[in-house]
Amino acid sequence: MTTIEHLTLETADPAAAAGFYASLGLGERVRARAADAPSTGFGGFTLSLVASQPGTVDALVAAAVEAGATVLKPASKSLWGYGGVVAAPDGTILTVASSSKKDTAPATRRVDDLVLQLGVDDVAASRQFYAGRGLTVAKSFGRKYVEFDTGAVTLTLNRRKALAKVAGVDPDGSGAHGVVIGGADGAFTDPDGFVWESV
């Protein structure tokens, strides 16, 4: 099985970015280094922090804001659960969500799952590419969404415009994506330009 061991965000201030993600308990799975390629606008990906209940979502959003994030969408109930969206100081968009609409225990700041959501041009073609590299499909909804079983960091494929809409940002962007995926399957670049490197 192909796994994702960690993500490396490329940013102008790696030390500040590393401190931000460490404050959310993600220091083992999210790293930072100096950007080596320019980019503008939406990077084509978001990080999703999945929590057990609404109170934990609120606690994580508050911790992110305290560490310098900006709220893009306040946390609220929806058809699928409870969540909100923030932009980290380095510009990375974080969705913080729970499928639960009710608290059943005291709130914590525990992230149960970290999900890298890629915005791609053709979900079916990208699914075929990744399946060909040995990734195991966990869920699939046609040409709209695919989730892979990738270990420490879950990988999903989404249509770029749909992902930007959920995040509350303009889908336009150019240049480097700003994220490098650290996996055990060798170095390669996917059809949408997302870079993987060996760990």
For the segment 171-186, the average pLDDT, to the nearest whole number, is 89
For the domain covering 4-34+43-170+177-198, report its CATH number.
Answer: 3.10.180.10
Token pair recorded at residue 150: 């990738």
Nearest to 158 by CA among 149, 170, 145: 145
Note the pLDDT tens digit of each residue in 83-127.
Answer: 999 999 999 999 999 999 999 999 999 999 999 999 999 999 999
3-state helix, strand, coil in the chain (%, to 5): 20, 40, 40
Nearest to 182 by CA among 5, 9, 1: 5
For the segment 121-150, the average pLDDT, to the nearest whole number, is 95
Rounded to whole angstroms, the Cα distance separating 46 from 41 reads 13
Token pair recorded at residue 174: 């150019």
Q: What is the pTM of this model?
A: 0.95
Token pair recorded at residue 197: 């490197």
Res. 41: pLDDT tops 70? yes
Domain boundaries, the chain: 4-34+43-170+177-198
Res. 159: pLDDT tops 90? yes
With contact defined as beta carbons under 8 Å apart, do 178 and 35 qualify?
Answer: yes
Q: How high is the pLDDT of residue 199?
A: 87
**Percent of the chain predicted with pLDDT > 70:** 99
